[in-house]
Structure 1
Amino acid sequence: MDLQEVDSMRGRTRYQLVAVVTVVSLILTACGGQDGSPTPFPYTAPPAGTVSPIVVQRTPETGEELPLDGAIELVFDRAMDQESVEESFNVWPLVAGSFEWSDTRTVSFKPALSLNRDVQYEVMVGPGAKGTDGAAVDGSYRFGFRTVGYLEVTQVIPALDSSDVEADGVITVIFNRPVVPLMAVSDPLDGELPDPLTLDPPVEGEGEWLNTSIYVFTPEEAMAGGTAYSALVKAGLEDTTGGVLEEDYSWSFSTQPPEVVWVSPAEGEELVDVDTSVRVSFNMNVAAASASEAFLMRVGGQQVGGQTEVDGDTLIFTPTERLSFNTVYSVMIGAGVQSTAGGEGMRSPYQWIFTTVPLPRIVATDPADGETNAIPWTNFEIKFNAPIDIDTVLPNLEMTPPFTPTEVYTYFSSWSNTFSLNFPVEPSTDYEVRIGPDIADPYGNTTGQEMTVRFRTDWYDPWIRMRGPGYIGTYDAGQPTQLIVSYLNTYQLDLSLYRIDVAQLM
């Protein structure tokens, strides 16, 4: 082999290499760039006066997800050359499939295998696509779509790892896609909808779909207080578009333990009935045994005896004996009270005090004894330190000048423990009220106080009023003019008559 033949072989080798590289380059240009995305075809403007075919409808539409077994459909504005359309049709990532024409304008591309889930695809119809009239597509037609993705849980209530959740609350799961179809509650298929939620420890209750993507579970009874719960939505749950929950979704939360929310008598309350029972309300139903054991009522360091009764979320303690008058009592609910379902007990003790009603006493009168300028339309009021039996008041009252029972009106204010006597009072008059000792409280205890209250009412405030037809009167200048004036406690009137001009009047 001589040098000329070697050079000739080298030349053929370079030519073959260049040819191979050129072919590969053309394939990459047709199929897309190195990153897998489609490369637009070089644009060649159609001949002047040509009306190019356009796509007037497509499936999937903008924003629509394509099912994994779905087909891509294009509808043109005219009859198309089927072979040129099929040769110019490309999908990235590359997808093998077949074409079907339902009419001369409509082509459907059906992938041979299911598409990949939650993947972005690009479709391009190149400029080689032509109508049967010979007009080519102007440039290329290109659009993207995404296949049906995964069903996901986007929010849960109670939230992940939340604590002190109300035991009588509901559990809500919110999905990113419609899991059930929109239907009426009366629809017979409503009872066949999925119940995706599982709780541990188990909770009896009822679930419902608030809408197509929000599931709400309502416990039949309150969950156990102070208990950690695990919630699970199992993988495999499908939505109405074909999306699937890829993995189990689980989270946990804990309910609040029992706590005191209301007591009677209230904290610091005074004038408490000596025949009262003590009531304690919790935020949930509590175990009778643990609540009764935790209750303790004391006076002066000694425990008060009585009976405890627990009804649901309320404890009632009834003392064996009547409470003492004017005495401070302390009550405590110890820590550890459990709900009826068990779980963590009440974390901290709850304590409060109240004071019972004192024996009855008169603490003030209005008007007071010795007052000389009492309001002439005043009531006579007696203020007590405690509630009293109003039927015992009037028989223990005498007044000078006297009054008859039909002339008076009485009223007792339980808010201020004040007895009011409304009587036909006169101005500038001396009154004497004698109060007897047998005014009693509801328990029969009497004040034992005999009192005499003397006071004098003031006179009525002076006043005058001119009697006329209104703010402005019209009088006859040719006749004697008289002006009528009403007055009280007024001994002299000085009147003046003067002119005013129109400007002053306006």
Structure 2
Amino acid sequence: MKKVIFFKIIIGLFVLILIGLGGLFLISPTVIKTFPQNQAQNIQADSEIKIDFSRPVNRDILIPSIIPDVPGEWQYENPILERHFYRTLVFIPDQILRPETIYKIRLEGIKRILNVGKSSNFEFSFTTQTLPKVLTVEPKSGTKNILPFSEIKIKLTQPNPELVDFSFVLEPKTEFKARINTEKDEYTLIPKGGFLQGTKYQFKIQSTFFIKDKETGTIIFQDEPQDLYQGNFETAPPPKIISFSPTGSNILVNKDIKIVFTEPMEKESVEKNFSTVPQIEGDFIWAEDKKSFTFKPSRNLSFGTNFKIAIKKGTKDEQGKYLPEDVIFYFKTIGRVWASFSPFNGANGTNIKTSIKVYFDQPVNQESAKERFKIEPQVNGSFSFSEDIMIFYPSAPLSYQTTYKVTILSGVKSIYGLDSNKVFSTTFSTELQTFKLAIPLDFQDYPLSCEAASLKMALRHKGIFVSENQIMNYVGIDSAPRQGNIWGDPYDIYVGSLNGRQNTTGYGVYWGPIAKAAKVWRPNSQAFSGWQISDLTKELKNGNPIIVWGVIGRGAYQDSWYTKDGKYIYAWKGEHSRLVIGFIGNPTSPSKIILNDPYVGVLYWSTSSFLSNWNIFGRSGVVVR
């Protein structure tokens, strides 16, 4: 009985094996699963292609292909027995699949292992992923007040598994470190050293698609760069110092230092970067808004000392913005009393009615200042004060053409600083005296009537009003024209025509005939020759104008002749008379001579220029007394 049962079991197992082998070898294999699935979308470009069959396939007959063509290797997997009867076909690309591409997989010759029966074909398609694009950028384009150490974040539409090389361009040019997250869908740009403050940046993103060989990593294809994004942002301006005190000089030694910023500042950063030279010990007292602080020295500052206050660049505000440069201020504490003057040292031509001002550089004790004032030559006067200025008012005008020395002796007492310990002085000279008779200018009536015009002005000063024609009636006129080297005698009479052309049809007259005419109205008038400057100034001081003879014009030259009687006549082409009415300076050696020129106008000639012209006719003239 047991033998029969065992035999039946053996027979059953054998039948099952035959049925299994028949199914394995006699039934045609079919595709039961693919990856990617047919018409699948957005398949990763680095994917492998996998096809599962219902039964082992005949590898010798099956021909797989991929369109477009991709370099790679088809491999069989999932055997029933080791290295036999494979039921899975895998395609392993040597490179990534091209994104945004429809791929078709075709299998020709799907057949049983025993190579019996008909073969079948199979195909399916899928579309690879799109290239990653820029989804968002932070900060957004147009954003302002970006902090200097902010990061830029670029979110992609999808991960970037080395499909695209992104380039990030900042203008102004900025070095940065680019970091991508583990999901490979977000870049972070970290500026090295931060952004420039108060600067408008242009930001541009470009992408370049490339394909690498998987084994060597070599780029075997690279597309043209594509512009993905262009925007801008503006960084926040740096903090600034609005005000600093104290500044300047003569700062009181008990003064605190105060600095005001535009932004709330980071206390630790400011205090660390604050310095003074010479060093000042003290405490910081901050305002509640942290925009200002007062540095209170622990003791009075040194007198007469230059201080340098600095806050280093990089000092931060509470937002992380920072000073782009060192900020430096200077001040000088009050020292010893110092004085300066008006008129300044070496001044010339000072008005005789001037007041004398002493400028102290700080408040002083007024009585001690007045006690130490000295002026030489001695001048009486009174004092007044206007703030730190002491003013001395002479009780009478200063003397002309005099050198004065003003001295402030040492020991002027300071109110807040140190008393003076040196002597201050200034030396100045007063103006030259100007003496001028009030004689109005009157131009000559005829082209060659300068002598009569000069006498007319002189007589008018004496209260006598006559015309040039009246004067010429007493002078007399020899109207005969010049005949070669023969002409009239100007020592005796007017030669030529008043309307003539000089030295041809008209000339003039000398001092003798003019003095004769002057005596008609002013009997004490006098002709002269060989006078000195002091003779002129003496007569002017006595109220008497003087007619002098010289020449006019740069082209003047000697042009003498003889009378019919053979008398030699010393003459010049350009002979001209003027009226001396004043002088500037000392009467014995004036610097200038003032003349009424009836042809030109009022003249202020240097004494040397006047003498050069007057000497031509032997320093001759007529004084009208």
Measured against the shorter chain, the TM-score band is: 0.3 to 0.5
Q: Provide the TM-score with structure 2 as the length reference.
A: 0.31
Tell which has more relative contact order, 1 or 2 (C-alpha 8 A, sep 6+). 1
Q: Provide the TM-score with structure 1 as the length reference.
A: 0.37
Whichever of the two has the greater Rg, that structure is 2
